[in-house]
Structures are given as C-alpha cells and as structure tokens.
Amino acid sequence: MKVTMTVNGEEVTAEIEGRLLLVHFLRDQLGLTGTHWGCDTSNCGTCVVWLDREPVKSCTVLAAMAGGHDVRTVEGLEQGGELDPVQKGFIACHGLQCGFCTPGMMMTARALLDKNPDPSEGEIREAISGQICRCTGYATIVRSIRWAASAS
Amino acid sequence: MQVPGQFEYERATSVEHAIGLLDRLGDTARLVAGGHSLLPMMKLRLANFDYLIDINDLHAELGHITVEPGRIRIGAMTRHRELLESPDLRQHFPIFADAERVIADPVVRNRGTLGGSLCQADPSEDLSAVCTTLGASCVIRGLDGERVVPMEDFHRGPYETAVGDAEMLTEVHFPLRPGGSSAYEKVERRAGDWAVVSAGAAVWLQNGVMTDARVGLAAVGPDTAGLPEISQALRGREPSEALYEEAGDIAARSCDPATDTRGSADYKRHLAKELTRRTLRKAVRRLEGRA
C-alpha cells in the first residue's frame, strides 16, 4: 500500500506493507536512525516520536496509521542549525550516558515543555515515566530538562 | 524483531463504513483504535487477522465526554489522556483519574482508548474495573442499529466480549446520581504494569447513610468482577472502619484469584480485602470533603 505523511516538515510517500511499524519505517526506509528501536513492547520509550505533536511509542504504531499525519523525530528538534534547548540541556547537564534512551527522552521532554514551560521536578519525572534509562541516569536527565525550561 | 503477521490495512471514514467493512470481512477482520493492546498481541502472534480496520479517524465522532442530566456518555475513542484530564470526570467520577494515573504511562495514554481497553477484555485491565464499579452500559452498534449491554454482560470471559463480528462499541454510558463519589487503588509490581490486584469503589451518601455502594475488582477472576454482595451489605448503613472491614472480608471471600508470577492466590485475596477497604474509605472521605 502507498502511504504519504509529513516527517520533520517534509512530505514523504512510500510503498509499505500494512504491518510495517512506524519505528522501522523511519529507521529503515527513511534512514532516520536517531529514533531508536528498543524493547519492542511499548515499555522502554526510546522509540518515542511525535504524531501530530503528541509523543507516541513508534514500535506500537503502524506506519500506515501515520498516513496523512505529521510525524516529528529527534532529527527534527534542531531548528535552523540551532539545537533545541532540550538538546543543549542534555549536553550541559550530562543528560546522556550511553545515549540509547536519549531520543525518546528528548521528544517527551520537548512535548512536556510545550504544554508546561515551567514543570516541577515531579512533573518531569511523571512525564518521562514511560521511558527507561538503563544507565539509571534519571537525575541528570531531569536536571537537563529543568535546564531547558530555565533557558527558554 | 517482533512484527505482526501479514494483513491488509483499511481505514474507516465513519462508524457506518467501519461496520460495513466488518460485515463484509467477517471474523478475519478486527478494528484497531490506539493499538496498544492489539498490536503487542499481534506482534507476539497471539492474535492474527487478515484485515485491520483503523478507526483513529473516528476520534472526532467517538472521542467525547458528554455530561447530561442523569448520565455521562463517553465515546469509545476517548483516549486515556482525555479521561485523565477531564474536569467533568474529576468532578463526578474521581475514580477515573485515580485509575488513569496508574494505567501504563503518559505516552501510552496518548494513544490507548476507552473502547479498546474494554474490547480487549483482559481480566486485569483497569478501565474495565472502573466501568464495572460505576455500573456502566455499553452501546454496541451494528448494521441494524444500536443495542445497550450492561457491563456485567459485556465481558463473556477473558478476551471475549458481547460485540459481534459486524458490530462495534461506540459509547459507554455512566449513570449519574447525586451524593456520590468514587476511588480506585492498584497494587502493581512496577510502575505502569498490569495489576496484581486493583479495586474500585463508588459510594452514595444521604444524611450520613450509604444509599448505595459498589465495588469492582480487577485481576482476581476471569472477568473484572462486580460484587453485589458488598452493595447489599452496605446499603442503609453508616460508613465506619468496621463496615469497610466487613466489605473487605466479602471481597476476599468472593473473588477467585489464581497463583501466578504476580503473586499467590492468598496474597491476592489479602489485597482484594485491603484495597476494598482503602477505596471505600477514600470515596467516603471525598464525599465528606476530607480528601
């Protein structure tokens, strides 16, 4: 089947199987490997991308479901050569260790800050509670998101 | 790598279109809404279909929370996040926010729907227990119109519902009676997991006496179970710790948990008792403005 969607502001059309998952479409067909593929069971959250501005776990969304919709991945965070404050925060506060959970964490963080520009530590922890950092580096991730809130 | 078996993907443009497709394709087709129950089952090949009919475009039609005199109607495509954030539900049925905060995680809650949760018919699913507790009715639409099925008849056993091959769940109705409040509690192994046991309670008070009370339990039997014996025991009595204890004893005695990786049957009976007490206490405190 043919599917057309907008990914990071650009319209893409592709021939896909109905069963293709969005995470594999982004990584394997579009080459957008910033979105990571982790647990495959909608638990770890490293595959989080935006579907119409809302974070979703792309291992549990069919690529076909994104047809006609707007998808944004971690590659789309940077605007006009300028890193997003969330990305800067992860650099400034050592928010990434091995980096595997980072794309999902950053997409969820950006969505949180768009809705709630000044979240408390508790609100940040709640927002990223669907993401797992197996380095257990949560404290610095929370600090990075707070940094981004303060810098914006 | 987990991928579903092969299927044809169709997208429904209206409820009628979805039902027409179901009618034509029969039991080889399945509706998919948020997909967070169905797609994992299909990835594990526990479920296989020749056709998936995507009904996400019906959110405008079926994603609503409507307060009317005497009832609240909630569309089947209403997402978990919308149930959690609804001021109307917070006011009338605080049990929803209690339950939603412990269902999966915020990102999953952006996709999952009320209708999908009920149609999955998992005995440990929390929204089913909420609907059981609140005495909800399910509106099922087919080719010849609608029929209404009370929650106690909606689940026919694990993963089986009253919804026929060419039918879909479109709305869930919740009776709204004055002087009531509700609460939900869940014990889980880790945040976002399925329940070891959860309990919902709804109470109605008039002049300090319970005019009605309902308790629903998840993960302690083949269905999310309502416990009419508790309602009978509590009606007409004043709320007290002794009464919550009595209700808890009925819950422990009436449920039918199985020993599994989540805990022993004895432990689950203990939880059924304790969570019944806690939710009744919490619902009554909310009515009295103390929580």
Of the candidates B87, B92, B69, the one whose C-alpha atom is nearest the C-alpha of residue B179 is: B92
Give the DSSP per-residue string, chain B.
Answer: ---PPP-EEEE-SSHHHHHHHHHHHGGGEEEESS-TTHHHHHHTTSS--SEEEE-GGGHHHH--EEEETTEEEEETT-BHHHHHH-HHHHHH-THHHHHHTTSS-HHHHTT-BHHHHHHHT-TT-HHHHHHHHTT-EEEEEETTEEEEEEHHHHEEETTEES--TT-EEEEEEEE--TTEEEEEEEEESSTTPPEEEEEEEEEEEETTEEEEEEEEEESSSSSPEE-HHHHHHHTT----HHHHHHHHHHHHHH-----BTTB-HHHHHHHHHHHHHHHHHHHHHHHTT--
Q: What is the mean pLDDT of chain B?
A: 95
Q: Which residue of A has its CA nearest to B104?
A: A130
Taking only the tens place, the pLDDT of each residue in B129-186 is 999 999 999 999 999 999 999 999 999 989 999 999 999 999 999 999 999 999 999 9
Q: What is the pLDDT of residue B221?
A: 85
Strand partners, B201: B183, B215
Asked if A60 and B36 come within 8 Å (Cβ–Cβ), the reply is: yes
Q: pLDDT confidence of B25, banded at 50, 70, 90? A: very high
Looking at chain B from residue 85 to 114, which residues have their Cβ under 8 Å from any Cβ of chain A? 104-108, 110-111
Question: Mean pLDDT, to the nearest integer, of A53-79?
Answer: 98
Whether the predicted pLDDT of B224 surpasses 90 = no
Q: What is the pLDDT of residue B289?
A: 81
B219 in Cβ contact with B241 (< 8 Å): no
Does the CB of A43 have a partner CB in chain B at under 8 Å? yes
Q: pLDDT confidence of B226, banded at 50, 70, 90? A: confident
A48 in Cβ contact with A127 (< 8 Å): no
B42 interaction partners in chain A (CB closer than 8 Å) = 19
* Closest chain B C-alpha to A65 CA, distance in angstroms: 7
A45 interaction partners in chain B (CB closer than 8 Å) = 105, 107
Q: What is the pLDDT of residue B101?
A: 96
Q: pLDDT confidence of B290, banded at 50, 70, 90? A: low
**Dist. CA B72–CA B253, nearest whole Å:** 32
Q: What is the pLDDT of residue B83?
A: 98
Question: Mean pLDDT, to the nearest integer, of B176-200?
Answer: 95
In chain B, the percentage of residues whose pLDDT exceeds 70 is 99
Whether the predicted pLDDT of A54 surpasses 80 = yes
Q: Which of A20, A40, A131 minimises the CB distance to B2?
A: A40
Does the CB of A34 have a partner CB in chain B at under 8 Å? no
Whether the predicted pLDDT of A64 surpasses 80 = yes
At residue B258, φ and ψ (nearest 5 deg) are -115, 145
Whether the predicted pLDDT of A73 surpasses 80 = yes
A129 interaction partners in chain B (CB closer than 8 Å) = 105-106, 191-192
A24 interaction partners in chain B (CB closer than 8 Å) = 3
> Which stretch of DSSP H or E encloses residue A50?
strand A48-51
Whether the predicted pLDDT of B291 surpasses 60 = no
Does the CB of A15 have a partner CB in chain B at under 8 Å? no
Whether the predicted pLDDT of B192 surpasses 90 = no
Q: What is the pLDDT of residue B191?
A: 86
Does the CB of A42 have a partner CB in chain B at under 8 Å? yes
Among B6, B107, B111, pick the best mutation site for testing chain A contact (most A Cβ within 10 A): B107
Taking only the tens place, the pLDDT of each residue in A114-145 is 999 999 999 999 999 999 999 999 999 999 99
A131 interaction partners in chain B (CB closer than 8 Å) = 105, 107
Q: What is the ipTM of this complex?
A: 0.96
Q: What is the pLDDT of residue B90?
A: 97
Question: Mean pLDDT, to the nearest integer, of B86-95?
Answer: 98
Taking only the tens place, the pLDDT of each residue in B242-280 is 999 999 999 999 999 999 999 999 999 999 999 999 999
In chain B, the percentage of residues whose pLDDT exceeds 90 is 94
Taking only the tens place, the pLDDT of each residue in A7-16 is 999 999 999 9
